[in-house]
Chains A and B, each alone.
Chain A
C-alpha cells in the first residue's frame, strides 16, 4: 500500500512538473533560434545577400560544392598542407624536446634558442618566409611547421623534467638500464603533458593555415575564400568557415581519442 501511494504521488508530481527547457534539448534551442532569425532576416531583405547569405543558401551551396567536387578537392589540398606542416613541426618538437629533456648539454644547447623563438609570433614571419620560399606551397607548410614546434617542444621537455624521481629510483633499484628507465618510466610519465602540447599544436596549425592560405593560393580553402571575396559570394565564405570549424573540432577529437586510449590508467577525475 505504502509503496503504491508513493508511486502515485511521484507520478502526480511528474505530470505537474512545468515545461522544462533541458528536457527538450535546451542547449540547442538558442543556436537554432539564431539560425531561424538569420533566415528570417535574409528572406525579408533585412540582411542583404552581399553582407551575409541565408542559412538555406549556405546549405545549398555546400551541397553543390560537395557534389561538384570543388570542396573535397580543395579541402584535400588544405589538409595536405596541415599534415605536412604538422609532420615537420611535431617531429622537430619531439626531437628537440627529447634532446633538451634528457640531457643537460642538450638543454643548454636547445632551450635558449627555443625560448628566443617563442618570443617571435609565427605569423610575423610570413613576409620573411615569402622572401625566402616564394609564394608556392613551401612558405605555407613552413609557417605551420614553425608555429607547431614550440607547444610540442615545451610540453614534452617539461613533462620529462617533472618525472617522479621516486619512481625513477625504484626503477634504478631493480637494475633497469638508462634506456629502460627512459622507456618504462620517463616517457610514459611525460605522455600526458605531451598530449596537451599536441592538442595546442593542432589548434595552432589550423589558425596558421587560415593565414598562410591567404598567400597567393591557387587551391585550398583559402583560395576558395579569396575567390569568393572577389565575387562577393558570402555563401561560399560561410561554407569555408564551417569547414575550418569542423577541421578544428576534428583535430580536438583526434587528440581526445588518443588520450582516452593512451591514458587509460588514469582514474577519471570527473564522474562520467
Chain B
C-alpha cells in the first residue's frame, strides 16, 4: 500500500479484522427468468461504514438495493440485513396527501410530531413542517426524505441515487448535509450512484458492480475534503472498470491531461 496514494485496492482474499457487520451477504444470487441479475455476491458492511456502489444501468445495483431494503423477498439465501433500515429514493416519494411532518413520521408509533419536527429541523426544513409535499422544491423534498429516513435511527441507510435529479449546487449542499448527518448518527450508509465524483467525495469504500458481480473495490483512507489530490487518478481508474475494456468514452479531464 502506497500511503501517498490515498486509496487502496482491496484484495478480497485478504481478510481484514472487522467488527460484526450490519450487512452480510454470502453467494447472493438473483435471477429473473433466464437473466442472472446478481451472481454470487459477497458483501459485508461494517457499522458506521460509508459505501458507494457504482455501476452502469443494468449492472444490478437497483436489485441489490431492493434486496437490502427488504423490498424483494430473499428465499433461503444467506442474507443478513438489520431490521432498522431506511431508504431515500431518487424521487423523494413523499405521500402528497400528508403534510411533510406526517410523511416524516409515517409508520412510527406514539407521539410523532416532536420527533418529526426535530428531524426536519436537523435537515434545515423546520419552516416547512406543515407544507404539502407537492409544494416543495426538489432539494427540499430530498431533505424531507432524508429526515424521514433518519427519524427511524436506522443502522443501515440506503440512498438510491438520491441527488441525481438535483442541480449541481443543491447536490453539493446535500453532500455536506448527508456527511454531517452521517457523522451525527453513524448509520452504515450505502449510496447507489453513477456519479464517480460523488462516490469519491463521500465514501470510505467504493464498490463497482458489473453484471451482478463486484469487479472493483477501493478503500479511501484520506479524510473527506483532502481528496482533491488523487481524485482525478481514482476517477480514471474507476471509470475504466466501469467501462470494462471499452475505452470509447474518454472522460473530459483525462482527455485534457493527455493533450498537454
Residues of A participating in the B interface, judged by any CB pair closer than 8 Å: 166-167, 169-176, 180, 184-185, 188-189, 191, 264-267
Contact = CB atoms under 8 A, between A and B. Distances in A.
B69 A173 contact: yes
A184 B102 CA distance: 10
Given A172-B71, A174-B86, A174-B87, 10 more contacts: A167-B95, A169-B89, A169-B93, A171-B106, A171-B107, A173-B85, A265-B97, A266-B96, A267-B132, A267-B135
B134 A174 contact: no
A185 B111 CA distance: 21
B107 to A, nearest CB: 5
21 contacts: A167-B93, A169-B93, A170-B93, A171-B106, A171-B107, A172-B71, A173-B85, A174-B87, A174-B106, A174-B148, A184-B98, A184-B106, A184-B107, A188-B95, A188-B98, A189-B97, A265-B97, A265-B99, A265-B133, A266-B96, A267-B134
Q: A169, A189, A191: which has the most chain B beta carbons within 10 Å?
A: A169
Interface string B47-85: 000000000000000000000011100000000000001
A175 B107 contact: yes
A265 B86 contact: no
B213 interface: no
B90 to A, nearest CB: 10
A167 B71 CA distance: 12
A265 B91 contact: no
A246 B128 CA distance: 42
A173 B70 contact: yes
Contacts of A167: 93, 95
B143 to A, nearest CB: 16
Nearest to A264: B132
A188 B99 CA distance: 13
B87 A173 contact: yes
A96 to B, nearest CB: 24
B152 interface: yes
Contacts of B132: 264-265, 267
A138 to B, nearest CB: 40
B22 to A, nearest CB: 16
Contacts of A184: 95, 98, 106-107
A169 B106 CA distance: 13
Contacts of A180: 107
A185 B96 CA distance: 10
B82 to A, nearest CB: 12
